[in-house]
Amino acid sequence: MIYDRLVAAAEQAPSTSGLRQGESFIPYRKVVDRSAHIASGLIARGVAKGTPVGLLMINGPELLTLAYALFAAGAVVVPLNAQAPRQELAATARKAHVAAVIASLPYAEVAEMLVADLAGPGRLPLFLSGGSDDNSVAALERYSIAGLPQLGPDDAALYMFSSGSTGIPKVVPHTHGEMDIDMQGAIETSRHQPDDIMINMMPGSHAMGFLSATHVAAAGASTLYWHDPQPFMLSKGRFANAIETEGVTILMGVPFMFDALAGLKDEVSFRRLRRAQSAGVALRKETYDRFLERFGIRLTQAYGSTECLSIAINDGDDPDVPWDSVGVPAPRLTFELEPAENPFGPECGEIVVSSPAITKGYLDAPEVNARTLRDGKFYTGDLGTQSKEGYVTIKGRSKLIIEVAGHKVDPFEIEEVLGTHPAVAEAVVVGIPDARTGEQKLKAVIVRAAEENPDALIRYCRERLASQKVPSIVEFRDEIPKSATGKILRGKLMEAV
């Protein structure tokens, strides 16, 4: 189904629409043709309908092309984080029951180690993008188009990972039907026009980066992929120059990115930019004001989750919409506020949604599903309000998840890793605001079982966790403050000692 939507979009899209990166341009008609050939090759090589296939790919045109090839073959796309520590990468792939891997050539060693960890060297199919041998994507592309399966709305299409509002990262399955409805909603709200160019600099395993490219393709608009080996703070000038010189019309990212761009000293003007949208983390008024003053462009916000896909989007040009609103609920989505204890007043409640685009449940997690998905409704764990005009504003979280640089981080996962260190008797992780940016950073509060220094504990975490999960502060205490019933008083741990 998803591949069929790309076929339909390619037939109607202008010849100038497609996937861009550097000097390369691939029109959607070529993406459709390559995807079909690669899909046929995958089927011939034993990748059956329903097979979860891990993608260890640099974000770019090849990632999206391979994703559509897997959609066409009836396989399940599983974007994986190639930068994750080896243990974490293997653990997440096992959760998704990954049975084959496709990797960019620079990630060949990572892919080989993953295959070895999952099943032993050479025991799982591994295809490399960029090679030329029999196990390369180029070899798959040489197959004639044949045997593509008929797919229905209930066929699995995508597995992504979320710590969301319910704990340690879980596999979030989405079907062809769920993704198709989400894409249709984006089209109906005219989120993208055929002459739009959206710049995409998010990691390929990030839900925002991956899903936004499928929305753009479904509308027949173009995606400009941007990648720089240097950290964003060192490459932001080149990124801004690409926005200007390539005629980018849509910019989507996390608040940190917009704050960095607002601080540019370079002479740059985003003259063609018609929409700049922030997502992933709540937008601060200071960032909104700085970006508006620097570029004369109002930042809007989008609200979604891996489980629900699009929930609400502020796409309008109405200047009367509050700056901190995430807009109105997405098409076909029922939005409710359920009473919940919170510090924001009785008009605020937990956001509960239902939609045909929402996942039917986490993979292999019946207990979590019973708590989070009830009577066809998803309990987001977010606190919010809704105005009489229908505009939604997010106020906070009703659960413990910490949002770090656009990622939702579960403190329990980090605490479990720290608890395996011989010098740690007890560990609690909390989020505290950075004094300069206001963004959340992680602090680990440790009761020591033996002498150890903070840097050693940070290194221990870095070897076992993704970068966004590594505490930047380690604080030692004699005891963890607890209530009379033994509940950890996390609020007290956010205070300096």
Last residue of a domain, one of 367, 397, 427: 397
Same domain (yes/no): 409, 384:
no
pLDDT in the model for residue 373: 94
CATH of the domain at 464: 3.30.300.30
CATH of the domain at 342: 2.30.38.10
Q: Which comes out higher in pLDDT, residue 319 or 9?
A: 9
pLDDT in the model for residue 132: 87
Same domain (yes/no): 15, 158:
yes
Q: What is the mean pLDDT of the chain?
A: 91
Last residue of a domain, one of 227, 252, 285: 227
Taking 90 as the threshold, does the pLDDT of residue 358 lie above it? yes
Terminal-residue alpha carbon distance, the chain? 57
Give per-residue pLDDT as tens, 363-377.
Answer: 999 988 998 999 999
pLDDT in the model for residue 381: 87
Full-model pTM: 0.84
Taking 50 as the threshold, does the pLDDT of residue 437 lie above it? yes
Percent of the chain scoring above 90 in pLDDT:
73
Taking 90 as the threshold, does the pLDDT of residue 489 lie above it? no
Sign of CA dihedral 410, 362, 182, 393: negative
In 3D, which of 250, 197, 195, 224 has the Cα closest to residue 20?
224
Taking 50 as the threshold, does the pLDDT of residue 277 lie above it? yes
Residue 308 vs residues 64, 97, 158: alpha-carbon distances, Å: 21, 22, 13
pLDDT in the model for residue 340: 83
**Mean pLDDT, residues 111-125:** 91
Is the residue at 248 inside a domain? no
Same domain (yes/no): 353, 417:
no
Taking 60 as the threshold, does the pLDDT of residue 163 lie above it? no
In 3D, which of 44, 40, 15 has the Cα closest to residue 30?
15
Taking 70 as the threshold, does the pLDDT of residue 93 lie above it? yes
Backbone φ, ψ for residue 211 (5° rounding): -70, -35
**Residue 393, both tokens:** 């504003």
Is the residue at 29 inside a domain? yes
Using an 8 Å Cβ cutoff, are 457 and 421 in contact?
A: yes
Same domain (yes/no): 369, 419:
no
Same domain (yes/no): 141, 33:
yes
Using an 8 Å Cβ cutoff, are 84 and 466 in contact?
A: yes
Which residue is listed with tokens 């209530």?
483
Same domain (yes/no): 72, 199:
yes
At 467, the amino acid letter reads: S
Residue 419 vs residues 84, 387, 400, 441, 495: alpha-carbon distances, Å: 20, 45, 19, 20, 22
Same domain (yes/no): 28, 94:
yes
Give per-residue pLDDT as tens, 327-357.
Answer: 999 999 999 999 987 767 899 999 999 999 9
**Residue 3, both tokens:** 């591949």
pLDDT band at 409 (very low <50, low <70, confident <90, very high): confident
Same domain (yes/no): 360, 487:
no
Is the residue at 284 inside a domain? no
Last residue of a domain, one of 227, 249, 276: 227
Sign of CA dihedral 198, 404, 305, 75: positive
- Whole-angstrom distance, CA of residue 449 vs CA of residue 442: 21
**Residue 321, both tokens:** 């919409």
Which range marks the domain in which residue 431 is found? 402-493
CATH of the domain at 82: 3.40.50.12780
pLDDT in the model for residue 140: 98
- List Cβ neighbours of 374 (8 Å cut-off, separation of 6 or more): none
pLDDT band at 434 (very low <50, low <70, confident <90, very high): confident
Q: Which comes out higher in pLDDT, residue 189 or 467?
A: 467
State the DSSP H helix or E strand holding residue 20, giving kind and residue range, or none if neither. strand 18-21
State the DSSP H helix or E strand holding residue 245, giving kind and residue range, or none if neither. helix 232-245
Same domain (yes/no): 152, 220:
yes
Min mean pLDDT across 106-110, 114-118, 384-388, 435-439 is at 435-439
Q: Which comes out higher in pLDDT, residue 264 or 497?
A: 264
Is the residue at 240 inside a domain? no
Is the residue at 317 inside a domain? no
Same domain (yes/no): 48, 142:
yes
pLDDT in the model for residue 107: 96
Give per-residue pLDDT as tens, 13-67.
Answer: 999 999 999 999 999 999 999 999 999 999 999 999 999 999 999 999 999 999 9
The domain total for the chain is 3
Give per-residue pLDDT as tens, 57-78.
Answer: 999 999 999 999 999 999 999 9
Is the residue at 278 inside a domain? no
Taking 70 as the threshold, does the pLDDT of residue 496 lie above it? no
Same domain (yes/no): 28, 149:
yes
Taking 90 as the threshold, does the pLDDT of residue 225 lie above it? yes
Is the residue at 315 inside a domain? no
Same domain (yes/no): 131, 151:
yes
- Whole-angstrom distance, CA of residue 483 vs CA of residue 4: 57
pLDDT in the model for residue 162: 82
Is the residue at 370 inside a domain? yes
